[in-house]
Structure 1
Amino acid sequence: MNKILITISLLCSLIANAQQKNEQEKMNLVKMNLTAIAFRNYQFAYERLFTKRFSVQVSYGFIPAGQVPLIDEVIKDDNVDNIKLGGSNITVEPRFYLGKGYGHGFYVAPYYRYSHFNIDNLTYRYTSEDPAVVDKKIPIAFSGKTNSNNIGLMIGAQWLLGRRDNWVLDVWFIGGHYGGATGTITGKSARALTPYEQNQLKEDIEDLDITLFKYKVTTNSSGAVIDLDSDWLGVRSGISFGYRF
């Protein structure tokens, strides 16, 4: 009886050691964010496990130039339309696993994110009130770039799936970041603006209900320049699926 118990114990120990060795051999994970696709945001990540509790993930995302989803929630003005936006971001994310480890279980992850955006074809339909001019309707086309640097914290959980634990399901429950955004957006008028129109255009742009940015406006005969220098808040959540090797 004792020999049987000893044999069973040895077998269990060998199986546990084999499983742990298998986990330690598969220290690389590649993933794609599935939920961001609905917003034309394509994100890919590579995670490297260093110990049972610690890993580092680096992700890259890009948005092809196109119409901006939910733009009416950001710029609430009927005179602004045709906005096209594209950009990219890079995120560096150390992860600390609290559960089973080796890439599965609950984790907390501080992170740094750099984002860059190109803004094009933003048209502002300006209506002149200068009594000295006849042409009252003046479209002004804006384009420019913005950059932001952010730090944040995310809470999530990751599961290993399949008979060999080769597949990965990564759920970002909630994450938030804070940083700064800067950039310059230049608007070109369809014709030269009078001094009266320049002052009026400056006031009109300053009165726009843009909820995300603080900005400074200067105008000239060619149009307007908007300088962005503002605090930036962002949130992260989603579901990624990938492969472990």
Structure 2
Amino acid sequence: MIKASPLGFIFGNYFLSGERVLTQGLSLGLEVGTRFPSPGRTYTSQYYSYRSGGLLWPSVSNLSYFTITPELRWYTNGGPGHGFYISLYYRYLDIKQRNIQANLLIPQQGKAPLDGVVTYQEYLRTHALGLGIGAQWLLGRKKNIVLDWYIIGVSNGRGSGWVEGSYKFYDKQPHKSEIDASTLENLLLDQTESDSEGVKTTLDKQAQTFRITGLRTTVISPRLGLSIGFRF
């Protein structure tokens, strides 16, 4: 069986899956999904990182991802590829969030603070195991049309990520000597919401770029949808 999600095309999420019946009531499937960034719109807020709601609608214009999900299905009625099923799956997810911006304000002793902006990208790779339920029907005179309703699934796993970007000041000066490196690093960690144990910051004051690595997070994500396809 080959299936695709028609609702995903409306929102820019593209999913294609295949399923092979192994024995009566048992099948093996593989789903591949992707999303491309939407051009022409930039959402500028540091509060929509993947660590604080980046998968929600306000920031999806700059969100892209790739996911691959192998799964094992058990059809409770013993049917060959139809009926209610329980699914055990593994999911690999690679996310990129572009063009996130945050204000940068650096205090100076006896002087006006330096005002600027940080522009950065977030990257996240996750590995998770999940369990779900759904129902599948074989339709048509030859029972070769497949309707698959994945009712709900939940996966739990671990993710690793990094942040990279640049900063600039509104007076268009680099201020290499006036700014203490540790102060700037702490502000960048705070503004990108990366201030956690074990992270490492690499700073280039000449190019005004930075990279933050060693981010770790726990990922709990739902899975649901409707797909249609053909049985061969």
Is TM > 0.5 for Structure 1 vs Structure 2? Answer: yes
Match of 1:49 in 2: 21
Alpha carbons of 1:82 and 1:30: their partners in 2 closer, same or farther (altered >3 Å)? Answer: closer
Deviations 1:93-129 (A, max 9, x none): 0111112511110000100011112232222221232
Deviation at 1:60, TM superposition (A): 0.5
Residue in structure 2 matching 1:240, options 224, 227, 230: 227
1:226 and 2:212 equivalent? yes
Deviation at 1:171, TM superposition (A): 0.6
Larger CA deviation: 130-139 vs 160-169: 130-139
Deviation at 1:187, TM superposition (A): 2.4
Gaps of 5+ in 2: 54-58, 169-173
Alpha carbons of 1:129 and 1:39: their partners in 2 closer, same or farther (altered >3 Å)? Answer: farther
- Matched residue pairs, number? 210
Residue in structure 2 matching 1:87, options 37, 55, 65: 65
Whichever structure has more helix as a proportion of its residues is: 1
Gaps of 5+ in 1: 1-28
Name the SS of the counterpart of 1:36 in structure 2.
Answer: helix
CA distance in 2, matches of 1:198, 1:36: 45
Identity among equivalent pairs (%): 27
Deviation at 1:144, TM superposition (A): 4.6
1:142 and 2:120 equivalent? yes
CA distance in 2, matches of 1:108, 1:224: 45
Mapped contact 2:107–2:113 kept (Cα < 8 A): no
Match of 1:26 in 2: none
Q: Which contiguous aligned blocks of 4+ residues in structure 1 show a shift greater than 4 angstroms? A: 71-76, 131-135, 207-210
Q: Root-mean-square deviation (CA), in Å?
A: 3.2
- TM-score, with normalisation over the residues of structure 1? 0.72
CA distance in 1, matches of 2:9, 2:198: 30
Mapped contact 1:82–1:121 kept (Cα < 8 A): no
- TM-score, with normalisation over the residues of structure 2? 0.76
Mapped contact 2:102–2:191 kept (Cα < 8 A): no
